[in-house]
Amino acid sequence: MSQLRISEAASYLGVSDDTLRRWIEAGRVQATSDASGRQVVEGAEVARILRETSPTVVAEKAPIVGRSARNRFAGIVTRVVKDTVMAQVEIQAGPHRFVSLLSTEAVEELGLEPGALAIATVKATNVGVEVPGA
């Protein structure tokens, strides 16, 4: 499961670091401490908040080395529905919700699960999914 620093989580949620800290203090968002003692938020928790409120801006966090599509939307995976062959992946990228159908094998290889960072690439009527590198 991905853990995001307060500044990273705030960026994906479209709020300031201080706002996110207030949400944590108020109990609206759950946070834990990482091995270094820094406060972090699980990616799944960010996905939960994104499902409840649609943010206005999501910044792309990691560069992709190559691409074939011009329309790319960085966001958080909010839902994955799998069967034995195919899977449905939902990504919340700012105010936009993208749904992509992929093979279950591809979803597992990419490690897509609620809270994972992902980039929806849109070309014509197809939506592809990329995973940013660390």
Residue 68 pLDDT more than 60?
no
Both 77 and 110 in one domain: the answer is yes
Both 85 and 46 in one domain: the answer is no
In a domain, 35, yes or no: yes
Query: Average pLDDT, stretch 66-79?
Result: 78
In a domain, 77, yes or no: yes
In a domain, 104, yes or no: yes
Residue 134, pLDDT score: 61
> Higher model confidence: residue 129 or residue 46?
46
In a domain, 61, yes or no: no
Beta-strand (E) ranges in 12-103?
32-33, 39-42, 71-82, 86-93, 96-103
**Count of structural domains, the chain:** 2
Both 48 and 75 in one domain: the answer is no
Question: Residue 115's domain is classified under what CATH number?
Answer: 2.40.50.100
Q: Average pLDDT, whole number, for the chain?
A: 83
Query: Average pLDDT, stretch 43-62?
Result: 66
CA distance 23 to 100: 31
Give pTM, 2 decimals: 0.55
Residue 27: both structure tokens together: 């109990």
Range of the domain at 46: 3-52
In a domain, 60, yes or no: no
In a domain, 39, yes or no: yes
The number of helices, as runs of H, and strands, as runs of E, in the chain is: 4, 8
Question: Residue 28's domain is classified under what CATH number?
Answer: 1.10.1660.10
